[in-house]
Amino acid sequence: MAPGKSLVDAQQQLEEDGYLLVEGLCDPGFVAHLLEVSLGRSDQVISALGTQPIGIGSAAGFDEVVQRSPGRWDIPISPDEFGVDDRALPWWPLIAGVLGEDAEHSFSGVVYSDPGSPAQCWHIDSPHVSADHLPPHALNVMVALHDTPLAMGPTELARGSHRLTNHLRNPALVSDELVYQHETTGPEQLVTEAEQAVPAGFSSRLATGSCLIFDDRILHRGLGNASESRRSMVYFSYRQAGYRENTHFEALRSVYDAED
């Protein structure tokens, strides 16, 4: 899996904490390639967007770009456009070990935040499908394309919250207020008993080529970018064969429609 961590250890940490940070998983040449493709695609899409209005969230965006929160842009890029084979990527053994050898590619692309962009609201990426706690049905892999100090706003996760975001078990939770960013959603909302601890937040400086892998039911958010530089991360998302609850891209329009 990675230097100093066996596949079994990685799977166990993912099950317990809901996430896994792996340093040095991607070699510099591969990361440089991902960055080059990401910058080229981003420039192309943002140029095509021009002055067209775009709202916040997947349904208010375009096929080619979503503004996840103010100043935080998500641009899909397929494995073919990246020039990679999913099953040859360094994190595939973990994906296959957790989701199965027949796991499917869901989404991939680049997400970047502009300097000065605020922190996102807490959210999950897709809902639970059973009141019983099941193993992950989808995993996200985020790759740091450059050194990312805390000032640049790396992702923060609520440790262990993948077990607590189950709206089918906890009637106080509203699925749409978890999946779509909602200002009242937070780790403390997941606590149902007085003696239950609020899930602790985790965020870390990321070195170039580090990978943050997490259960897409975990509560997380991109922190504010307080630096003077763009923060860029490539992501690859996978799902169990047959799982279709993802809400990542929902737009029904293209930035190129106006050109037709």
What pLDDT does 252 receive?
78
- Residue 97: both structure tokens together: 């070990």
- Average pLDDT score, the chain: 92
pLDDT above 80: residue 232 = yes
What pLDDT does 243 receive?
86
Of 1-10, 48-57, 226-235, where does mean pLDDT reach its minimum? 1-10
User: Tens digit of pLDDT for each residue in 48-90?
Assistant: 999 999 999 888 899 999 999 999 999 999 999 999 999 999 9
Residue at 252 is within a domain: no
- Residue 85: both structure tokens together: 């084979």
Of 5-14, 98-107, 133-142, 204-213, where does mean pLDDT reach its minimum? 5-14
Domain coverage including residue 72: 7-242
| Domain of residue 180, CATH code | 2.60.120.620
- Cα–Cα distance between 226 and 183 in angstroms, integer? 20
User: Tens digit of pLDDT for each residue in 87-140?
Assistant: 999 999 999 999 999 999 999 999 999 999 999 999 999 999 999 999 999 999
What pLDDT does 109 receive?
97
What pLDDT does 251 receive?
73
pTM of the prediction?
A: 0.93
| Contact call for residues 137 and 239 (beta carbons, < 8 A) | yes
Of 47-61, 90-104, 199-213, 240-254, where does mean pLDDT reach its minimum? 240-254
What domain count does the chain have?
A: 1
Residue at 103 is within a domain: yes
Other C-beta atoms closer than 10 Å to the C-beta of 80 total: 9
pLDDT above 80: residue 203 = yes
Phi, psi of 5 (to 5 degrees): -140, 120
The span from the first CA to the last CA of the chain, in angstroms, equals 47
Instruction: Compute the average pLDDT of residues 143-168.
Output: 97
Share of the chain above pLDDT 70, in %: 95
Residue at 58 is within a domain: yes
Counts for the chain of helices (H) and strands (E), in that order = 5, 10
Tell me the C-alpha to C-alpha distance, in Å, between residue 92 and each of 130, 153, 186: 26, 26, 31
Q: CB under 8 Å to 93, separation ≥6 — which residues?
A: 1, 7
Instruction: Compute the average pLDDT of residues 28-45.
Output: 97
